[in-house]
Amino acid sequence: MEIIFPTMAQLVGPLRKELADSLSSCRVLVVGAGGIGCELLKNLVLTGFKNIEVIDLDTIDVSNLNRQFLFQKKHVGKSKAQVAKESVLRFCPSANITAYHDSIMNPDYNVEFFRNFQLVMNALDNRAARNHVNRMCLAADIPLIESGTAGYLGQVTVIKKGQTECYECQPKPTQKTFPGCTIRNTPSEPIHCIVWAKYLFNQLFGEEDADQEVSPDTADPEVAWNPADAAARATASNKDGDIKRVSTKEWARSTGYDPVKLFNKLFKDDIMYLLTMDKLWKKRKAPLPLDWTEIHQLESSQEEAFGSGLKDQQVLGVQGYAQLFHRSVKTLRSQLIEKGEGAELVWDKDDPPAMDFVTAAANLRMNVFSMNMKSRFDVKSMAGNIIPAIATTNAVIAGLIVLEALKTLNSDFDQCRTIFLNKQPNPRKKLLVPCALDPPNPNCFVCASKPEVTVKLNVHKTIVQALQDKILKEKLGMVAPDVQIEDGKGTILISSEEGETEANNNKFLSDFGIRNGSRLQADDFLQDYTLLVNLIHSEELEKDVEFEVVGDAPDKAPAPNVPEEGKNIANGNKDSAQPSTSSKAAAEDDDVLIVDSDEEPSSSTMETSPESSNRKRKHHDADTDDAASKRKRLDQQPADDDEDIIALD
């Protein structure tokens, strides 16, 4: 039976015939098969697109089912890309769909691969992958449609090499990380305790990571070295294994993961040890250690649960969380034993015992540091960087994407728009705010013809490994950089071939003669991207700042005591505040674009467009005070209680 594709093709401008033909012959790539991806695949086949490839490394989770309509309960655990393809084919058997259960950052998907397509559409949830696809499309000179949603908000934009801004033309505020000593010694916000609890999970049950220490940090720059202190600390730490030398995991294992011993070490002994660093507590309120036996002697009258509604939304008391800690450690211990020798658990917000553990440990630590405790529901939002997501917004955005796609295929780039979807009509009665696309930023460190960037760092303190991992990969979005020094000799500093330059990893940059004004050439063959890095040596970087990209969006240094709820959680939403899932970070959340929906309006697109007053004001607020985060908080406010907030920047 021949399927008649109706009238979309007739409708789009004078090129209707050519466009209609091109729809059935052109090949498109959809990156991501989540909330937007599902809607998009449906819209594409029903608009007449025939040759579609879709890639997603994620598998299906129960919490996807409220919007990712190509999946059903029986598909939980299976590949999103594969199931999406099968579901679409059931409805539209004539489509030609290829599915990849893989990461788009895998080197197999090189520039040649991208050149197979007339158009690439992102339906992604994280900035690392968005950066990467942006570069691949620039390198292959293939138009890209970028999109994202968060709760009721959404956005679509078109990127075409040389004609429009690329995804990275406007600096985006860096995703916030927390200084190690804030996490280990002086947490001041709930998110610090939640990050600590996630570190702790990995230290105890998962993959140990030296960057995720949870025990007191004696090298805290705030604690001036003083022999008497050291002696006091030595006595304090002798009780239950030396904190310095035995790893948390080894120690936990030696006790057989005894929940009570773990509890007393984490919430009593370690805290007493912290108390010996008395300089820390001169201006701060000192932590109050918890003792397992003592808290169980407390009157349980104080243990009345706060909050109403769902069980998850109630805040238990200290006793309740101590019990939850006890239970979850036991469950995780048996999971670990079941998995056999040397096994590791991976933290997942949707795994109940893992979530219970983090809820309990984080709340106990909040109590120790005199913070208001949080419900499991809230902790989950913060720990999992959960952004609310609903079918309706994704449907609207996916509809807009295809309309932009048709204009793109018609090469009508001047007709293409960046479109913002508001929660409700703005004062000018607009639900949708379309803005003309901006031309490329000539100084963009990605799409300029000779990309350059200037980085300020301390050459005596920065090691090659940090240059590679933190600056080139994490900050500048490269996947496998090769770096040579422009010193006339072409010294190779970093090679993407395994085993070639590992010996350099722990050396300081100054060991290679790198100094103020040195230039590095960084190449990423996969991204077909060469970047000239100018180095400025500086001894005066702020505390806990390893480097600064000059001209970058003004990073507010992580303020130690930011009080606003919205802001706290906003921190929690950044990818890098969730370090325990590094291997899975790219797939961490759903179809959501964290960074764009509220940050991109700051781009010059918005400055020049008369339509943008609403957005602009929003951004302006963000600069001046916290109205913006407040507003977001209200946007997202679940009806039940003012404290259930998920901010989204």
Partner 1 sequence: MTDHKTSKEQKYDRQLRLWGDHGQEALENAHVCLINATATGTEILKNLVLPGIGAFTIVDGHKVSGEGVGNNFFLTSSSIGKNRAQAATELLQELNSDVSGNFVEESPDKLLDNDPEFFHRFSLVIGVQLPESTCLRLGSVLWDAGVTFLVCRTYGLIGYMRLIVKEHTVIESHPDNALEDLRLDQPFTELKHHIESYDLDSMAKKDHSHTPWIIVVAKYLEKWYSEHNSQLPKNYKEKEAFRQLIREGILTNENGKPEDEENFEEAIKNVNTALNPTKVPSATEDIFNAEQCENITSQSPSFWVMAQGVRDFVRNEGNGKLPVRGTIPDMIADSDKFIKLQNVYRDKAMKDAAVVSKHVEALLQSVGKPPESISEQKIKLFCKNAAFLRVVHCRSLAEEYSMDTFNKDEITSCMDSEMVLYLMLHSVDRFYQQHSRYPGVYNYQVEEDINNLKLCVNSLLQEYSLNVNVKDDYIHEFCRYGAAEPHTVAAFLGGSAAQEAIKIITHQFVPFNNTFLYNAMSQTSATFQL
Of residues 427 through 466, those in contact with partner 1 by CB under 8 A are 429-432, 434
Residues 180-209 that bind partner 1 (CB under 8 A): none
Q: Which is nearer to partner 1, 396 or 455 (CB)?
A: 396
Looking up tokens 């406007």, which residue turns up? 170
Residues 599-628 that bind partner 1 (CB under 8 A): 625, 627
Burial category of 133 from C-beta neighbours within 10 Å (exposed 0-12, middle 13-18, buried 19 and up)? buried
Q: How far is the CB of 504 from partner 1 (least distance, A)?
A: 42
Half-sphere exposure of 318 (CA within 13 A, CB side): 26
Region binding partner 1 by CB under 8 A among candidate stretches 58-66, 95-103, 328-336, 600-608: 58-66
Site string for partner 1, 244-283 (x = CB under 8 A): ---------------------------------------x
Contact status, residue 604 vs residue 438, Cβ threshold 8 Å: yes
DSSP 534: E
Q: Which is nearer to partner 1, 68 or 237 (CB)?
A: 68
Q: Is 628 annotated as a binding residue?
A: no
Region binding partner 1 by CB under 8 A among candidate stretches 41-49, 126-134, 216-224, 321-329: 41-49
Residues 555-584 that bind partner 1 (CB under 8 A): 561, 563-565, 568
Sheet hosting strand 27-31, strand order edge to edge: 96-100, 51-55, 27-31, 119-122, 144-150, 153-159, 417-421, 432-436
Q: Is 99 annotated as a binding residue?
A: no
Integer Cα distance of 617 and 72 in angstroms = 41
Give buried/exposed letters for 472-500 (b at 16+ CB in 10 A, else e).
bbbbbbbbbbbbbbeeeeeeebbbbeeee
Q: Is 480 annotated as a binding residue?
A: no
Alpha-helical runs (H) found in 166-222: 180-184, 190-205
Region binding partner 1 by CB under 8 A among candidate stretches 176-184, 456-464, 516-524, 641-649: 641-649
26 belongs to the binding site for partner 1 (CB under 8 A): no
Active-site residue flag, 435 = no
Q: Is 104 annotated as a binding residue?
A: yes
305 belongs to the binding site for partner 1 (CB under 8 A): no
Region binding partner 1 by CB under 8 A among candidate stretches 176-184, 208-216, 397-405, 494-502: 397-405
Q: How far is the CB of 11 from partner 1 (least distance, A)?
A: 6
176 belongs to the binding site for partner 1 (CB under 8 A): no
Looking up tokens 């940050």, which residue turns up? 599
Q: Which of 359, 381, 504, 578 binds partner 1 (CB under 8 A)?
A: 381
Q: Which of 56, 590, 596, 600 binds partner 1 (CB under 8 A)?
A: 590
Q: Which is nearer to partner 1, 429 or 450 (CB)?
A: 429
Q: Is 417 annotated as a binding residue?
A: no
559: amino acid identity, one letter: A
Tokens representing residue 396 in the block:
């609207």
24 belongs to the binding site for partner 1 (CB under 8 A): no
C-alpha distances (whole Å) from 594 to each of 122, 385, 387, 621 are 14, 9, 8, 18
Q: Is 322 annotated as a binding residue?
A: no
Integer Cα distance of 608 and 601 in angstroms = 11
Contact status, residue 20 vs residue 64, Cβ threshold 8 Å: no
69 belongs to the binding site for partner 1 (CB under 8 A): yes
Contact status, residue 463 vs residue 118, Cβ threshold 8 Å: no
Q: Which of 230, 231, 557, 634 binds partner 1 (CB under 8 A)?
A: 634
Tokens representing residue 104 in the block:
């788009």
25 belongs to the binding site for partner 1 (CB under 8 A): no
Q: Is 206 annotated as a binding residue?
A: no
Contact status, residue 423 vs residue 635, Cβ threshold 8 Å: yes
Q: How far is the CB of 385 from partner 1 (least distance, A)?
A: 12
Q: How far is the CB of 230 from partner 1 (least distance, A)?
A: 26
Integer Cα distance of 336 and 344 in angstroms = 7
Q: How far is the CB of 361 from partner 1 (least distance, A)?
A: 17
**How many residues lie near partner 1 (CB under 8 A)?**
91
Q: Which of 86, 87, 129, 171 minimizes the C-alpha distance to 591?
A: 129
Q: How far is the CB of 366 from partner 1 (least distance, A)?
A: 8
Q: Is 193 annotated as a binding residue?
A: no
Alpha-helical runs (H) found in 310-434: 318-339, 352-368, 376-383, 391-409
Residues 74-113 that bind partner 1 (CB under 8 A): 90-93
Q: How far is the CB of 119 from partner 1 (least distance, A)?
A: 14
Burial category of 612 from C-beta neighbours within 10 Å (exposed 0-12, middle 13-18, buried 19 and up)? buried
Q: Which of 15, 26, 46, 260 binds partner 1 (CB under 8 A)?
A: 46
For 391, residues 6+ apart whose C-beta sits below 8 A from its C-beta are 35, 66, 67, 69
Residues 465-524 that bind partner 1 (CB under 8 A): none
Integer Cα distance of 551 and 168 in angstroms = 13
CA angle 602, 574, 439 (to 5 degrees): 30
Identify any residues that bridge with 154 across adjacent strands, giving them in sequence order. 149, 421
Q: Which of 151, 206, 241, 259 binds partner 1 (CB under 8 A)?
A: 151
Q: Which of 116, 372, 516, 604 binds partner 1 (CB under 8 A)?
A: 372
Q: How far is the CB of 96 from partner 1 (least distance, A)?
A: 17
393 belongs to the binding site for partner 1 (CB under 8 A): yes
Q: Is 80 annotated as a binding residue?
A: yes
Looking at 181, 193, 416, 435, which residue is catalytic?
Answer: 181
Integer Cα distance of 360 and 362 in angstroms = 6
Q: Map 553-589 to HEC letters.
A: CCCCCCCCCCCCHHHHHHHHCCHHHCHHHHHHHHHCC
Contact status, residue 158 vs residue 418, Cβ threshold 8 Å: yes
Residues 526-545 that bind partner 1 (CB under 8 A): none
210 belongs to the binding site for partner 1 (CB under 8 A): no
Q: Which of 309, 473, 613, 616 binds partner 1 (CB under 8 A)?
A: 309
Site string for partner 1, 285-304 (x = CB under 8 A): x-------------------
Q: Which of 60, 136, 361, 389 binds partner 1 (CB under 8 A)?
A: 389
The three-state secondary structure class of 536 is strand
640 belongs to the binding site for partner 1 (CB under 8 A): yes
Residues known to be catalytic = 181
Q: Which residues are annotated as a binding site for ATP?
A: 32-37, 56, 64-67, 80, 103-104, 125-130
Which residues are annotated binding-site positions for Zn(2+)? 166, 169, 444, 447
